[in-house]
Structure 1
Amino acid sequence: MSSENSGFLAKIPGLAYIGLVLTPLFWAGNAVVARGTVDSIPPLAMSFWRWIIALAVILPFGLPGVWRHRHTIRQHLGSMLALATLSVGAFNSLLYIAATTTTATNIALINSTIPIFVALLAWLLLGDRTRPLQIIGIGLALLGIVTVVARGDLSVITGLQAQPGDLIMVAAVFSWGLFSVLLRRQAVPLPPLTFLTAQILLGTVVVLPFYLTDFLFFSGGFELSRSTAIPLIYFGLFPGLLAYAFWNHGVLKVGPSKAAIFIYLTPVFASVLAWAFLGERIGLFHVIGGLLILTGLLLATRAGRPTPGYLQTD
């Protein structure tokens, strides 16, 4: 993404805010489309082909930078491979696997707690200072997750009857939080577009053996048709590349603390889209859990202002 393009975009009034509204819409759509197509496209196929499509689009723009900075990439290959495994590889694959046994609304609600996991892991692993309000916020958000996972029934937790997809989604969010913290600890001196391109390349390589194993021994792949191609194109272009571009432009123009507020729109969009297209109903536990999560996010981000790393690939 050239500086000339960035300068042109910066002159368009309100573009940053439009992009910051569209970004959580694309992320919400990722959960809804995954849930709606998981019966026809295996989760690991979703993950692998999403990144193949994204690579086809981004390589013409990002490959020159990867070549120019190949020595830096080689020098930091171990760190970059670990980061790609946690973000491009694990996070998205786990999200799509979660969609097989839980709702799009639950996925979006749990996914919205990413800043909480970033703050918690930054405190545990990096020793970041944690203020009292931030601790309260983290606690409320985690209580909100428990409410959603338990579906408002404590016996679900005590009896170990939680939906597997909810727990897998918690693991996905943990993976992204760990990625964000390691991104700070093991910062790689690369331009954002070059970093993203390299991460998608490495992440696709990480996903490949899991996809091939699933294809050969378990799912047998999927039939390529209009009903499967359109979701894959959506996964590759909208929640991946466009959301990435809009999110980073928004953070640069309005600042990370203001941009973080727009993350809260993800579960709102997801619940509306899931109701409209999947017929999912909003239960009282969704409302209570969502309010706890959003209140916790507001307190935690206001106190400590944790935000995800710049490579957001929902």
Structure 2
Amino acid sequence: MERENKRNYLIGTVEIALANSFVGLNIGINKYLVEKASVLQLLELRYLFGTLILAFFSLFLKKKFTFYLTEERFDARNWLLYLLMALSGGVLFNLIYMSGIDRTTATSVGVISSAIPTLIAIFSFFILRQSLKQIHFICVLLVVIGVIVLNLSANQLNSSYNYKSSYDVFIGNCIVFLAMIPEALFTILAKLIKVKVCPVVSGLIINFINMLVCLPFLFFTEAKITFFALDASIWIFSFFIGLFNGALFYTFYNRGIAKIDSQTAAIMTGMVPISSALFGIIFLREPFYFNTVIGIVCVLTSIYIGVRFGESSKVILTRRVRQSLK
């Protein structure tokens, strides 16, 4: 039994790592697309493709189209949590970060996303009532140092990318950082839902919800919808975003989060800055300054110490759970 639990834990860790790698790829691809179409158009296309892809898997590759894996069903509270989870990791996260990504680089976005593990740890303390350890404060310090060093390269980015100003790059980094808040809440909300559901069908519903939410805003803000006038490359890349970050992300994440704890899931988000930085440097030919190296080292160090010393770290704060009087 113990061996089986360890095996499931390892599989869950790999699944979460893969899911977060897809987020990093999403950052890099959107950095390329955001200059060619509006943010709402890109979001609608990615959720449309994500819905269609998962509908195909659900209807044609599964014998039974089912949402629940057990006899237990969602109550009103679970449906509310599920809706908030879908929107926080979907429209809210993507709308905010895509509004700032055109002001900075995919590498910078990846490094800033290293704040997610710390945010998850903080939210876990306040919402899930998990202990806050000394190691979390060290990780906070490393993240802050990494972001500060990253912003020191603003002048270099300005000369390389012809941005308006160093201040413009700084604002872009701040906007991207704000996007990490709903992304971190996605993990917390997922852990609050105890009813087991089918990962593929769950991903389908989440993509469909976000597609419906984006649609009225798209028609309201776009005077003339010109989807079919978009370049073919936008459709192709949007399909791959829908496949990797829409379909596969939610499938692997929903499978993995059921097998591991929120703190391990937080550590695995370190795959986001790594995959994003590699994509930006290799495919987008973004500059790789010494400041970027320091920022990435801070990220990798925070991940390592979180994994290595997380269990043995001293507990600093613990939330007491009030016992109900019988």
What is the CA-CA distance between 1:292 and the residue it aligns to?
A: 1.7
Q: Deviations over 1:104-139 (max 9, x none)?
A: 111111223322210122224444211212221222
Judge conservation of contact 2:27–2:110 (CA < 8 Å) in 1.
yes
Give runs of aligned pairs for residues 121-136 of structure 1, distance below 5 A. Answer: 121-136=123-138
Higher helix share: 1
SS of the counterpart of 1:189?
coil
* Paired residues of 1:16 and 1:250 also in contact (CA < 8 A): yes
C-alpha distance 120-302 of structure 1, shift in aligned 2 (>3 A): farther
Q: Distance between the aligned counterparts of 2:93 and 2:252, measured in 1?
A: 20
- How far 1:41 moved relative to its partner? 1.9
Superimposed CA distance per residue, residues 179-237 of structure 1 (whole angstroms, 9 cap, x where no aligned partner): 3223334x1524142433332222222222222233238x9667234211111101100
Distance change in 2, residues 1:246/1:137 (3 Å):
same
Aligned pair in 2 of structure 1 residues 44, 265: CA closer, same or farther (>3 Å)?
same
Change (3 A) 1:124 1:294: farther
Percent identical across equivalent pairs? 22
Matched residue type, 1:232: S
Aligned pairs for 1:25-40 within 5 A: 25-40=21-36
Matched letter for residue 290 of structure 1: I
> Which residue does the alignment assign to 2:66?
65
Structure 1 residue 271: deviation in Å?
2.6
Matched, 1:296 2:297: no
Moved more, 199-208 or 41-50: 199-208
Partner of 1:180: 187
Task: Evaluate the alpha carbon distance shift between residue 90 and residue 35 of structure 1 in structure 2; reply closer, same or farther with a 3 A threshold.
Answer: same
2:217 is equivalent to residue 210 of structure 1: yes
Are 2:197 and 1:191 equivalent residues in the alignment?
yes
**Structure 1: 5+ residue stretches without partners:** 1-9, 154-158, 306-314
Distance 1:251 1:81 in 2: 17
Question: After the TM superposition, which of the residue ranges 114-123 and 291-300 deviates more from structure 2?
Answer: 291-300
Contact 1:20–1:259, Cα closer than 8 Å, also in 2: yes
The residue number in structure 1 matching 2:208 is: 201
| Distance in 1 separating the partners of 2:108 and 2:206 | 27
Residues 271 and 170 of structure 1, relative CA distance in 2, 3 Å threshold: same
- The answer as to whether partners of 1:143 and 1:293 remain within 8 angstroms in 2 is no
Matching of residues 1-12 of structure 1 within 5 Å = none
Answering whether residue 167 of structure 2 is matched by residue 166 of structure 1, we say: no
Choose from 47, 50, 54 the match for 1:51: 47
Deviation, 1:243, is 3.6
- CA distance 1:160–1:32, change in 2 (3 Å): closer
Helix, strand or coil for the counterpart of 1:163? helix
Structure 2 Cα separation of the partners of residues 188 and 200 of structure 1? 21
> Which of 260, 269, 273 is residue 267 of structure 1 equivalent to?
273
For 1:310, the equivalent position in structure 2 comes to none
C-alpha RMSD of the superposition: 3.8
SS at match of 2:223: helix
Contact 1:83 1:179 (C-alpha < 8 Å) held by counterparts: yes
Provide the C-alpha distance between the structure 2 equivalents of 1:107 and 1:116, rounded to a whole number of angstroms.
16
- Unmatched tracts of structure 2, length 5 or more: 1-6, 60-64, 156-165, 312-326
Give 1:81 deviation, angstroms. 2.2
- In structure 1, the residue matched to 2:246 is 240
State the TM-score, normalizing by the size of structure 2. 0.72
Change over 3 Å in CA distance of 1:234–1:148 after alignment to 2: same
What residue in structure 1 maps to residue 79 of structure 2?
Answer: 77
Q: Which moved more, 1:82-91 or 1:71-80?
A: 71-80
8 A Cα contact 1:108 1:267, kept in partner: yes
Matched ranges for 1:147-158 at <5 A: 147-151=149-153
Given that 1:138 and 1:300 are in contact with CA atoms closer than 8 Å, whether structure 2 keeps it comes out as no
Question: Greater Rg, structure 1 or structure 2?
Answer: 2
Note the C-alpha offset of 1:282: 1.2
Distance across 2 between alignment mates of 1:256 and 1:126 = 9
How much does 1:300 deviate? 3.3
Secondary structure of 1:228's aligned partner:
helix
Are 1:231 and 2:237 matched, yes or no? yes
Distance 1:213 1:247 in 2: 32
Change (3 A) 1:122 1:47: same
